[in-house]
């Protein structure tokens, strides 16, 4: 007997934004958004308002990650509710503007979906980043994208960690999705990375269009990597790093790291082993921007999330 009662009915997703340049030196998103601002034919979909947007234009102009502070950490409740004051940090001011344009965060006026385009120096391949394990729309969307991208692998990172979760630019929307594609050096545009990101977005927009047209998406399961812990480099008393990511760990994002596996190599040639009790799956291994954030890599654990069937709610 078919059950019609286990289908979650969700609102249409009518307003979608694509953010590039949240970090001004991550070139795939910047290039795509600038291209689509000039000619939006490729991203147009029936019934959808799609806005390509450069989040941090001053940083993009200088091809640096940020001017005063990381925009992708700036969307805290304190920052968003702070009064307009002279001499405020550029990115805090910018966060408030973005919240006005695409939010307010947490309200029913907020944009339905924001895709935030990022690159990493880590060997993460194509990664979709979720902030909630219970957002059915997002779970179904990433499931659709993964299937559509096959055999090209698209992995899912879930950051729901109470302390390590951060206030992202995309968190202004009802359904935030991060796209992280690497490896790519800062300030560099690699063709394969650019085209992967472009294709992921094509599939994502197709999904939204199908959903809005009434297509029902059956129940599904999604393999995710859930953020556990941030691991810093060994440092001396002055805060300088004393070791590098070990050659056996370098570029091995998403592969199991077991107790006793090499983790760091000191500048004078000594190996430091991973001592954790459980097998973990490291990611963001040797990301350039994270040296200052005390992060050599992030550990994750594997999990399977289940999502109900979804379809658009009838008016």
Partner 1 sequence: MKAVAMPTVSRVAVCGGTHGNELAGIYLVREMLKKRADGTEPVSVVTVMSNPRAAQLCVRYVETDLNRCFTRAALSAPVSETSPYEMVRSQELNALLGPKASMQAVDLLCDLHNTTANTGLCLITYSDRDWICLHICKHLQARTNTKMASTPVRYVHFDIPLNEAYSLDSVGKHGFAMEIGPQPHGVVRSVIFSAMQEGVQLMMDWICQFNSGTLFEGGWVDVYTMVKNIDYPRDSETHVITAAVHPDLQDRDFCLLHPGDPMFLCFSGETLRYRGKEALYPFFINEGAYYEKGVALSLARKRRVQIPSVRSETLR
Binding flag, residue 245, partner 1 (CB under 8 A): yes
The answer to the question of residue 186 lying near partner 1 (CB under 8 A) is: yes
* Among 127, 125, 126, 128, residue whose Cα is nearest residue 113: 128
The one catalytic residue in 12, 44, 160, 180 is 180
Answer yes or no whether residue 265 interacts with partner 1 by CB under 8 A: yes
Q: Is 118 annotated as a binding residue?
A: yes
Is 170 known as a binding-site position?
Answer: yes
**Residue 285 CB-half CA count within 13 A:** 25
Q: Which two tokens stand for residue 88?
A: 């405020």
Between 124 and 158, whose beta carbon lies closer to partner 1?
124
- Can the peptide bond before residue 183 be classed as cis, meaning omega within 30 degrees of 0? yes
Interface with partner 1 (CB under 8 A), residue total 32
The whole-angstrom separation of Cα 302 and Cα 228 is: 10
DSSP assigned state of 239: S
Complex with partner 1: residue 5 or 238, whichever CB lies closer:
238
| Residue 309 · residue 6 · CB < 8 Å | yes
Tell which residue, 163, 72, 103, 171, has the closest CA to residue 131. 171
Q: How far is the CB of 244 from partner 1 (least distance, A)?
A: 4
88 is known to lie in a ligand binding site: no
Q: At what angle do helices 136-149 and 191-212 cross, to 10 degrees?
A: 130
Is residue 138 near partner 1 by the rule CB under 8 A?
Answer: no
303 in catalytic set: no
Among 141, 289, 305, 307, binds partner 1 (CB under 8 A): 289
Nearer to partner 1, 125 or 176 (CB): 125
Q: Is 124 in the site for partner 1 (CB under 8 A)?
A: no
Chain residues binding partner 1 by CB under 8 A are: 31, 34-35, 63-64, 121, 183-192, 194, 240, 244-247, 250, 265, 267-268, 286-289, 291-292
């Amino acid at each position: 007997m078919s059950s019609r009662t286990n289908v979650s009915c969700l609102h249409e997703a009518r307003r979608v934004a694509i953010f590039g340049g949240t970090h001004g030196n991550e070139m795939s998103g910047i290039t795509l958004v600038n291209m689509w601002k000039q000619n939006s034919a490729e991203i147009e979909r029936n019934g959808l308002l799609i806005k390509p947007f450069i989040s941090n234009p001053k940083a993009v102009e200088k091809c640096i990650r940020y001017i005063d502070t990381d925009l992708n950490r700036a969307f805290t409740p304190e920052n968003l509710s702070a009064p307009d004051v002279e001499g405020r940090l550029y990115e805090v001011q910018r966060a408030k503007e973005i919240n006005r344009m695409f939010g307010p965060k947490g309200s029913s006026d907020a944009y339905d979906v924001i895709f935030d385009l990022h690159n990493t120096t880590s060997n993460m391949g194509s990664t979709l980043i979720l902030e909630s394990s219970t957002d059915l729309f997002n779970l179904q969307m990433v499931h659709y994208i993964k299937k559509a991208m096959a055999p090209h692998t698209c992995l899912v990172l879930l950051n729901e960690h109470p302390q390590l979760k951060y206030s992202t630019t995309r968190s202004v929307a009802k359904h935030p999705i991060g796209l992280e594609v690497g490896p790519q050096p800062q300030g560099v545009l690699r063709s394969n990375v650019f085209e992967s990101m472009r294709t992921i977005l094509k599939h994502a927009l197709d999904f939204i269009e199908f959903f809005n047209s009434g297509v029902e998406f059956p129940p599904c399961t999604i393999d995710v990597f859930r953020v556990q812990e941030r691991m810093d480099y060994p440092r001396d008393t002055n805060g300088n790093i004393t070791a590098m990511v070990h050659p056996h760990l370098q570029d091995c994002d998403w592969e199991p790291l077991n107790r006793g596996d090499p983790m760091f190599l000191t500048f004078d040639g000594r190996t430091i082993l991973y001592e954790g009790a459980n097998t973990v799956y490291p990611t963001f291994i040797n990301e350039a921007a994270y040296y200052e954030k005390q992060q050599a890599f992030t550990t994750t654990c594997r999990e399977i999330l289940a999502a109900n069937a979804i379809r658009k709610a009838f008016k």
